[in-house]
């Protein structure tokens, strides 16, 4: 329950602080979640969403029995990022949802899974360098634990447990 309270507080503070921001007179080009160029009249992105392990999926989508091998090319964690991006846009919070296929890049370069953060860091650094307005970054993953460890029942309904790893690193 503490995680849900923390999530609610974080999102409330973030939404309160971001919804009133407006665009300056910058000619700088940025990209929205749909990879469309944002014009100078549109808000600058405040959030960057990406997926280091972009093909992480779910047992229900992959028909495997072990979550740590549940991967799928299209039914994966990127859909959660896409939905998160859409929800932010509905609340007038401009964002970038990066659709880079990190797992494919790693495979093409012959890199191992444990090097995925090095690959995703390139997209992250480029986004931050090109969009100084970004205030929050989310690297969205799914947990590799089984369902009974990753959900909580509230009033008879199952909900995903959410964990935040918070860093102030630059």
User: What are the contacts of 15-23 at 24+ separation with CB within 8 A?
Assistant: 15/91, 15/93, 18/46, 18/93, 18/135, 19/91, 19/92, 19/93, 21/46
What's the pLDDT score for residue 33?
44
Q: Show the tokens assigned to 156.
A: 């008879």
Q: pLDDT tens digits for the chain (170 residues)?
A: 334 433 443 444 444 444 333 233 333 334 444 444 444 566 899 999 999 999 998 888 888 888 788 889 999 999 999 999 999 999 999 999 999 999 999 999 999 999 999 999 999 999 999 999 999 999 999 888 878 888 899 999 998 888 887 777 65
Q: How far apart are CA 49 and CA 98, in angstroms?
A: 6
What's the pLDDT score for residue 108?
96
What's the pLDDT score for residue 14?
44
Q: How far apart are CA 72 and CA 118, in angstroms?
A: 22
Tokens 């280091």 locate to 52
Q: How far apart are CA 169 and CA 154, in angstroms?
A: 35
- CB of 62 within 8 A of CB of 80? no
């Amino acid at each position: 329950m503490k995680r849900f309270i923390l999530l609610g507080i974080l999102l409330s503070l973030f939404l309160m602080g971001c919804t009133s921001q407006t665009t300056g007179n910058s000619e700088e080009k940025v990209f929205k979640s749909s990879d469309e160029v944002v014009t100078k009249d549109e808000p600058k992105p405040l959030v960057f969403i990406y997926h280091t392990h972009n093909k992480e999926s779910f047992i229900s989508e992959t028909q495997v029995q072990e979550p740590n091998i549940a991967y799928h090319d299209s039914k994966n964690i990127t859909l959660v990022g896409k939905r998160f991006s859409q929800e932010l846009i509905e609340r007038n919070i401009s964002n970038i949802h990066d659709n880079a296929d990190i797992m494919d890049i790693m495979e093409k370069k012959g890199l191992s899974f444990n090097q995925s953060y090095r690959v995703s860091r390139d997209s992250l650094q480029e986004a931050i360098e090109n969009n100084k307005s970004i205030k929050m970054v989310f690297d969205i993953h799914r947990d590799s634990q089984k369902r009974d460890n990753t959900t909580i029942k509230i009033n008879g309904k199952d909900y995903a447990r959410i964990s935040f790893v918070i860093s102030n690193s630059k």
